[in-house]
Amino acid sequence: MEEQMISFLKKSGADVSGEKKPVPDILSYQQAVRLTLDIASQLTKLHEKRLGFISINKDQIHMVGENNFVIVNPELFRVNWKNELLISKPFTYNDLMAPELKQVNTLPSTVNSNVGYYAICNLVLSLLNIDNDINRLRPTKLYFLMERILKDDPNERRFIYI
């Protein structure tokens, strides 16, 4: 999986020739933007293969070189033809996950596949030194991206970086 994601980053023009290292405990703004965009584009690529994830943590991401990020060992679920994630195995809810996952109490269940983007944004927010206060990012592009993703209603979420 990791090599596929590195190959994907290379094809998109990213310099992934540097050494792999853990994600820092605190990200700079530029690193936060890069992590968000890199991991989201890899999630989009997974969706094309009918796969997705409900959660991601910093241990499932490597920093490659100075400013590129790659997914390693995510727990993957299938995406059905309705673009829903099929949750077919038990999981433990954590604070980085989308709120609708708290309601999953039977298996199999389905949720909107955008729960992965929600988890990415929450992870990035937790790694910025801003006490998880999204308003401290205002008026940046990252703020507006997160504002569009971190909606309680999954049907209102949009991953748009402009």
Summarize pLDDT for 12-56 with one digit per residue, the tens: 666 667 788 999 999 999 999 999 999 999 999 999 999 999 999
Going residue by residue through the chain, which has 162 residues, state the pLDDT in tens, using 9 for 90 and above: 667 666 666 666 666 677 889 999 999 999 999 999 999 999 999 999 999 999 999 999 999 987 899 999 899 999 999 999 999 999 999 999 999 999 999 999 999 999 999 999 999 999 999 998 999 999 999 999 999 999 999 999 999 999
pTM of the predicted structure, to 2 decimals: 0.91
Domain span at 50 = 2-152
Domain contains 65: yes
Domain contains 160: no
Q: What is the CATH number of the domain that holds 75?
A: 1.10.510.10
Domain contains 158: no
Nearest one of 159, 128, 2 to 70, comparing CA atoms: 2
Tally the domains of the chain. Answer: 1
CB 31 within 8 A of CB 24: yes
Q: What sign results for the dihedral spanned by CA atoms 127, 125, 161, 104?
A: positive
Residues 6+ apart with CB under 8 A from 112: 83, 84, 85, 100, 154, 155, 157
Instruction: For residue 96, give the H/E element and its range.
Output: none
Domain contains 157: no
